[in-house]
Structure 1
Amino acid sequence: MKAFDLHRMAFDKVPPDFLWEVALRSLYTFVLVFLFLKITGRRGVRQMSLFEVLIILTLGSAAGDVAFYDDVPMLPVLIVFVTLGLLYRLVMWLMSKSEKLEDLLEGKPVVIVEGGQLAWEELNHANMTEFEFFMELRLNSVEQLGQVRLAIMETNGQISVYYYIDDEVKPGLCILPDKCIERFVRVPDEGEYACIRCSHVLTLSAGEQRLCPRCKHPQWTKASRAKRIT
Structure 2
Amino acid sequence: MDTVIRALAVYLILIVVFKIAGRRALLQMTSFDLILLLIISEATQQALLGNDFSVTGAMLTIVTLIVVDISFGILKKKIPAADDLLDGTPVILVENGHFYVEKLTKADISAEDILLAARIDHGITERQKIKYAILESNGHISIIPLNDS
**How would you bin the TM-score normalised by the shorter chain?**
0.5 to 0.7
Identify if the C-alpha distance between structure 1 residues 100 and 71 changes in structure 2 by more than 3 Å, giving closer, same or farther. closer
Partner of 1:147: 129
Letter of the 2:89 counterpart = K
The size of the alignment, in residue pairs, is 111
- Structure possessing the higher radius of gyration over alpha carbons: 1
SS at match of 2:89: coil
Superposed CA deviations along residues 118-170 of structure 1, whole A, max 9, x for unmatched, are 11211111122222232222222111111111111101111111112223xxx
Letter of the 1:109 counterpart = P
Normalised TM-score (structure 2): 0.63
Q: What RMSD in Å do the two structures reach over aligned CA positions?
A: 2.9
Which of 73, 80, 88 is the matching residue for 2:61? 80
Normalised TM-score (structure 1): 0.42
Please say if 1:132 is aligned against 2:113: yes
Which structure's residues are more often helix, by fraction? 2
Identify if the C-alpha distance between structure 1 residues 89 and 60 changes in structure 2 by more than 3 Å, giving closer, same or farther. farther
Identify if the C-alpha distance between structure 1 residues 83 and 97 changes in structure 2 by more than 3 Å, giving closer, same or farther. same
Identify if the C-alpha distance between structure 1 residues 149 and 156 changes in structure 2 by more than 3 Å, giving closer, same or farther. same
SS at match of 2:128: helix
Identify if the C-alpha distance between structure 1 residues 136 and 153 changes in structure 2 by more than 3 Å, giving closer, same or farther. same
Q: Which runs of 4+ in 1 moved over 6 A?
A: 57-60, 63-66
Letter of the 2:77 counterpart = S
Q: Unmatched 5+ residue regions in structure 2?
A: 1-25, 28-39
Structure possessing the higher relative contact order (Cα contacts under 8 Å, 6 or more residues apart): 2
Identify if the C-alpha distance between structure 1 residues 92 and 60 changes in structure 2 by more than 3 Å, giving closer, same or farther. farther
Please say if 1:121 is aligned against 2:102: yes
SS at match of 1:166: coil
Percent of matched pairs sharing the same residue: 24
Q: Unmatched 5+ residue regions in structure 1?
A: 1-44, 47-56, 168-230
Which of 134, 143, 146 is the matching residue for 1:161? 143
